[in-house]
A and B are shown apart, each in its own frame.
Chain A
Amino acid sequence: MWTALRLFSARVAASFRHAELDTDFDAEMASHRAMLEEELRRTGRTPEEARRQARLEFGPETQLREAHRDRRGLPWLDTLAQDLRYAIRLLRRDLGFAVFAILIVGIGVGASATIYSVVSALLLRPLPFSEPERLTWIANGGTVSDGLSGQTVPVGHYQALRERSRSFADIGAYMAFYGAGDHTLTGSGEPERITTVPVSPNFFAVLGVAMRRGRGFTVEESRWKGPPAIVLTDRLWHRRFNADPAIVGRKILIDGDPVPVVGVLPASFDFGTILAPGTTIDAFTAFPLSPESDKWGNTLAMIGRLKTGVSLEQARAETGVLAPQIKKRDPDRAFDLQLTPLAEHVSGRLRPALAVLASAVAVVMLIVCANLSNLFLARAASRQREMAIRVALGAGRRRLIRQMLTESLLLAGAGSVLGLLLAVAGTRVVSHVTAFNLPLLDRVRLDGPALLVILATAFVTGVVFGLAPAVQVPDVAVGGALTESSRGTTSTRHVWLRASLVVSEIAFACVLLIGAGLLTRSLLRVLDTNLGFRPDHTAALRLTPAAGYTGQAGENRYFGEALRLVRAIPGVEAVGLTDALPLGRNRSWNPGAKGRAYSRENPPPDSFVRVISDGYLETMHIPLLQGRDFTEHDTDGSKKVVIINQSMARALWPGENPIGKTAIYLDPEREVVGVVGDVRHLSLEEASGLEFYLPSRQTTDHFPMDLVMRTALAPEVLASEVRRALAPLDPSLATNEFRTLQSVVDRASSPRRFVVLLLASFAGFALLLASLGIYAVISYSVSQRQRELGIRMALGASAGEVRRQILGETFRLAGLGLVVGLPVAWALSRSMSSLLYGIDATDPLTFAGMIATLTAVAAVAGYLPALRASRTNPLVALRAD
């Protein structure tokens, strides 16, 4: 084995020193021949005879030199080097073609690798927890339309499940109704609002996250009114506390109260990106697990870790039995347990969209291959004379094929280097983009498998587009090619192959265009939907009563004053308060209509509750359909009132006027004073459920409030104005949780926009390539038929007729492409229907539009060659050879 290796390395070394070794051998041969000559002269021959005889006896020198070179070096390496040098020289001559080929291979490979990295990060790679496949999302049986309340469970149920379940090693929980910026952090810098998530003491342990510093929460800290404690995320620790090594034990001011820091989480743990995409989580607190918090109703989302050896099916069977048992604790509360693997819960709903993107990028690669194959075929045709000469000089079929393959692999290699650079840039951009509410996006990076995909695609493109013309190469009638015109012969099979390649490109482009068109129209529909409120020129600021303003009276004083102060700011049109901004969190209760008989079988429907101040409806431009808005007079002590939305009016008082009616189960009853339009609260795509509004002055049972302002002022100006206006009321106001409602709405549509953006660019690229393909084929066909066209024009065909003929061919090609592509697009769009909104998968307008676009593009692509054809000077054409 070692000798073989040594031999190989010797030969490699020799192949790099050919010139030097050749000279050496020449000298040796000369010396040998000289000695032979001398010997022969001694035997009596004349010098000339001796020389001739020596040469004969020695053997043919040139062949020997070649054989020596082959024997001492690596002949295949030499051939490869020769092929490469030749290929580079040829490509340098044809720079336009080379650049174009490298560019489209680069874009194709870059796009494939980026999309693959995204798919890998979002769907394929396991979650960043220990043994993530055992983690299960345990939810109450509600669907997404039931809002958060439908999916969470009360503390008591959680504890019961944890105690009784045998399938799970442990179950952790977090309080799902945290809000962004609910709490204020003061001291050691500007007051800022932070987002904290209350969790169970075993939460981090269940996920398998080891603390970077300190510890998690103890059971003691999870008691009702237990000692306060907070765990910081790595990001907050670095940003706010400069990674202070003595942070554990230090007390920080949360909402004015000193809270000791008990631990810091590692940088690898990012709750937000997994469970709350779009939100930055700053810290974690201990959620009190007690009978008192049990009374709050559905609060907890659960994550369980299956015991080793227990399957999800077994766990499902067990929870199927346990759920009804646990439900007995509170029979009126809907309770049903649904188990999904955590990975599925996090990114399962993205699967269809990512599948579409992955298929789209594969189609793009196919188009790239087809286009390049076409280009190479065209070049091969024009190089037939060169090929014929090489064949005449002794090149074998295999040698020619190898030459063509070397050229195409060289291009593919250069293209994939470009693609690699583009993919690195692309993944970096994607991982840093925070404007899209997609989970795990920050994990996107170019990894090993992605690299392999790049190499594989490069190799495949090289072989595929190098093979088609390389196979054509031997079909050369040497004699004919040498004497034929420089254009070379047009074998019909050759032309047919090119035409079919273009037809396939058009078909692929058609599929992509229709897919992109459908998704774009869906996006437009989503953006167009009547949300029930007007997000433009509206901003929201989280506002919590300052210290000293406690109880209902204190709150009313604080908020009343805040409203008055902000309303007075010039430029502010309207102000209001709400505890539940649209597209944010939600909670639901079950108020009913007085006089109806409700029972366990016929419960009052779930309705979303919102606590608002007077002025909110006006600020948000939520239409008031009947009755009146809240006023300052709907306050503590006056009659308890409620405003309901249209859907709720129809549900509770169908066919009647709800104004003046009483709603029950609302501590204890409230009179309906107004009916407003529905607001899309859960998502842009979903119709709103039943909603009702309570006046903020009449209840303290609400989430932290947001101050909502409608104004023409720019957000930065508004922020500083508000801070200034509220300074007398609350000097330590934190204003970092200031956001415009338009940005909230944009965020909600961002996953859809992400997909449409990518798909539309792929479709555009595909269209460009298809049109270039058409142009190339028609152009070539025109140039091949110069003589024929010349004759036709000489015989009286007008320029217009010739143009029409060429355009006719173009449309025939395009038509064929559509004939192939439309049925495929039809079939594929139906599998995509889960992603569509507001339109059918077979939307005729989109299909018609795309057909028109393709036809128009084809017309443009074919027009230039048609023009050239019609300008043929018959004399020149007939004379040309």
Chain B
Amino acid sequence: MATDERADILQGTLDLMVLKTLDAMGPLHGYGIAKRIEQLSGDALQINQGTIYLCLVRLVQRKWIAAAWGTSDNNRRAKFYEITKTGRKQLVAEAAHWERIAGVIGRLLQLDTRR
């Protein structure tokens, strides 16, 4: 079904986005990550903020990110996530993979217009 497919793509890209966010911005709590992704995607991804945690729990289990309780800048207790070395490696691989796909599709689309 269409929503399932979209959910899968979502999951894949969400992983990438979370890793990139953590890589670029350093340790963040769940709210921070969700807000950042919202900003990045420009509200194109209409997901509930809570679903970020489903993604986060998988990333923690794969040891691509690590979680620890800490205090936010507003002196609030929150769980912070940090990218790990393996996570960084995964990010590089994933980014390369997407770029390759984008390149191929780009060339494919260009093929059509050349006609």
**Smallest Cβ-Cβ distance to B48: which chain A residue:** A59
B1 interface hit (Cβ, 8 Å): no
**Smallest Cβ-Cβ distance to A70: which chain B residue:** B54
Known A-B contacts A10-B61, A68-B57; A29 and B76 likewise in contact (beta carbons under 8 Å): no
Of residues 59 through 102 on chain B, the ones whose CB sits less than 8 Å from some CB of chain A are 61-63, 72, 74, 76-79
Of residues 65 through 89 on chain A, the ones whose CB sits less than 8 Å from some CB of chain B are 67-68, 71-72
Give the distance to chain B from A660, nearest Cβ to Cβ, in Å: 107
A60: chain B residues at CB < 8 Å are: 48, 50
**Smallest Cβ-Cβ distance to A57: which chain B residue:** B49
B61 and A11: CB pair below 8 A? yes
B31: chain A residues at CB < 8 Å are: 31-32, 35-36
Known A-B contacts A35-B72, A36-B49, A57-B48; A28 and B30 likewise in contact (beta carbons under 8 Å): yes
A58 and B48: CB pair below 8 A? yes
* Alpha-carbon distance A32/B79, docked complex (angstroms): 9
B51 interface hit (Cβ, 8 Å): yes
**Smallest Cβ-Cβ distance to B51: which chain A residue:** A59
Mask, B22-62, CB within 8 Å of A = 1, is 00000001110011000000000000111101100110011
Known A-B contacts A6-B63, A7-B61, A10-B61; A64 and B76 likewise in contact (beta carbons under 8 Å): no
B62: chain A residues at CB < 8 Å are: 3, 6-7
B54 and A67: CB pair below 8 A? yes
Of residues 862 through 877 on chain A, the ones whose CB sits less than 8 Å from some CB of chain B are none
A34 interface hit (Cβ, 8 Å): yes
Q: Which of B29, B31, B76, B79 has most chain A Cβ within 10 Å?
A: B31
A840 interface hit (Cβ, 8 Å): no
| Chain A interface helix/strand/loop/mixed | helix
A61 interface hit (Cβ, 8 Å): yes
Of residues 1 through 28 on chain A, the ones whose CB sits less than 8 Å from some CB of chain B are 3, 6-7, 10-11, 14, 24-25, 27-28
A671 interface hit (Cβ, 8 Å): no
A28 in complex: contacting residue of B49, B58, B72, B79, CB < 8 Å: B79
A25 and B53: CB pair below 8 A? yes
A721 interface hit (Cβ, 8 Å): no
Known A-B contacts A31-B79, A34-B76, A36-B31; A58 and B61 likewise in contact (beta carbons under 8 Å): no
A61: chain B residues at CB < 8 Å are: 50
* Alpha-carbon distance A64/B50, docked complex (angstroms): 7
A573 interface hit (Cβ, 8 Å): no
A34: chain B residues at CB < 8 Å are: 76
B51 and A64: CB pair below 8 A? yes
* Alpha-carbon distance A10/B79, docked complex (angstroms): 19
Q: Which of A32, A36, A60, A71 has most chain B Cβ within 10 Å?
A: A32
A255 interface hit (Cβ, 8 Å): no
Known A-B contacts A28-B78, A28-B79, A35-B76; A72 and B57 likewise in contact (beta carbons under 8 Å): yes
**Smallest Cβ-Cβ distance to A61: which chain B residue:** B50
Known A-B contacts A7-B61, A31-B78, A38-B74; A58 and B49 likewise in contact (beta carbons under 8 Å): yes
Known A-B contacts A35-B31, A35-B72; A68 and B63 likewise in contact (beta carbons under 8 Å): no
B48 and A31: CB pair below 8 A? no
B49 in complex: contacting residue of A7, A32, A38, CB < 8 Å: A32
* Alpha-carbon distance A71/B61, docked complex (angstroms): 10
A68 in complex: contacting residue of B49, B53, B78, CB < 8 Å: B53
B29 and A59: CB pair below 8 A? no
B51: chain A residues at CB < 8 Å are: 59, 64, 67
* Alpha-carbon distance A27/B30, docked complex (angstroms): 12
* Alpha-carbon distance A6/B57, docked complex (angstroms): 14
* Alpha-carbon distance A31/B62, docked complex (angstroms): 24
* Alpha-carbon distance A6/B58, docked complex (angstroms): 12
**Smallest Cβ-Cβ distance to A11: which chain B residue:** B61
A59 and B77: CB pair below 8 A? no
* Alpha-carbon distance A39/B76, docked complex (angstroms): 13
B54 and A68: CB pair below 8 A? yes
B79: chain A residues at CB < 8 Å are: 24, 27-28, 31
**Smallest Cβ-Cβ distance to B30: which chain A residue:** A32
Give the distance to chain B from A75, nearest Cβ to Cβ, in Å: 13
Give the distance to chain A from B23, nearest Cβ to Cβ, in Å: 20
A3: chain B residues at CB < 8 Å are: 62
* Alpha-carbon distance A31/B69, docked complex (angstroms): 11
**Smallest Cβ-Cβ distance to B77: which chain A residue:** A31
Q: Which of A29, A35, A57, A58 has most chain B Cβ within 10 Å?
A: A35
Mask, A45-66, CB within 8 Å of B = 1, is 0000000000001111100100
B30: chain A residues at CB < 8 Å are: 28, 31-32
B48: chain A residues at CB < 8 Å are: 57-60, 64
A27: chain B residues at CB < 8 Å are: 77, 79
**Smallest Cβ-Cβ distance to A7: which chain B residue:** B61
* Alpha-carbon distance A27/B63, docked complex (angstroms): 22
Give the distance to chain A from B68, nearest Cβ to Cβ, in Å: 12
Enumerate 11 A-B pairs (CB-CB under 8 Å) in ascending A order: A11-B61, A29-B53, A31-B29, A32-B29, A32-B30, A35-B29, A38-B74, A60-B48, A64-B48, A67-B51, A71-B58
User: Given contacts A28-B53, A31-B29, A31-B31, could you give 19 more A-B pairs where the C-beta distance is less than 8 Å?
Assistant: A7-B62, A10-B61, A11-B61, A29-B50, A29-B53, A31-B77, A32-B34, A32-B49, A38-B74, A58-B48, A58-B50, A59-B49, A61-B50, A64-B50, A64-B54, A67-B51, A68-B53, A68-B54, A71-B54
Instruction: List the 6 shortest-distance A-B pairs measured between CB atoms, nearest first.
Output: A59-B48, A59-B50, A35-B31, A10-B61, A64-B50, A32-B31
